[in-house]
Amino acid sequence: MASRGHTATPTVGKAMLNKYARAFFTRVLTPFAAFLIRRGVSPDTVTLIGTAGVVAGALVFYPRGEFFWGTVVITLFVFSDLVDGNMARQLGRSSRWGAFLDSTLDRVADGAVFGGFALWYAGSGDDNVLCAVSIFCLASGQVVSYTKARGESIGLPVAVNGLVERAERLVISLVAAGFAGMHTFGVPGIQYLLPIALWVVAVGSLVTLIQRVVTVRRESAEAEAAEQQAQGSEAAQ
């Protein structure tokens, strides 16, 4: 959901809205955010509700092949990305806990979306290959996020913009799912958009993972070389 208290990869909600649309919806949602604050609702509560909505939309609708309505529900709850961040700014809160909660629940939402796809293809979708691709998208997304977090935890910047990061993974998948769901309304051939999108996300995630691993290896070697040079300089003195 919305990132509060740290600089991070754009969330799915922010990625789905261009900067002009974000500005518009920020103005529209500011009174609503203020209303929630007056009622004693916290930004964390909005984040939790938003994540619960995404999880429900993904795991209730997607396994039944109702991709259009599932995406509609998920998109509605995506606006919590803007609401909780707006509330945090109005309250002047920028906490490590908020950043941790957001990042953790992002992973939960990701798992629900791709898990929903996997359940569909494992069941009525009857396609073991696409089930495996969905699971790969789920797992690789978690690992891609972990590589950055782990690299930063050992003091490396992990300065790389991956080919397909979280925002791209979700936008590609959700847009394709929404359009694919229009097959039930009689739009011919559009159901193939989701399988194509899943393959694109899977390949892109693999490339991104390799990019991050290579970057961490390079930055680690550079950091160790700098430390050895500094130690040599101190010994020479």
- At 59, the amino acid letter reads L
**Residue corresponding to tokens 């922010």:** 14
Contact 86, 42 (CB under 8 A): no
Contact 3, 11 (CB under 8 A): yes
| DSSP reduced 3-state for 132 | helix
| DSSP reduced 3-state for 214 | helix
Active-site positions?
A: 106
In 123-165, where does DSSP find H-type helix?
128-153
Residues 6+ apart with CB under 8 A from 218: none
**Angle, helix 166-180 to helix 67-78, in steps of 10 degrees:** 140
**Angle, helix 80-91 to helix 19-38, in steps of 10 degrees:** 60
| DSSP reduced 3-state for 65 | coil
Nearest C-alpha neighbor of 137 from the set 163, 157, 162, 166? 166
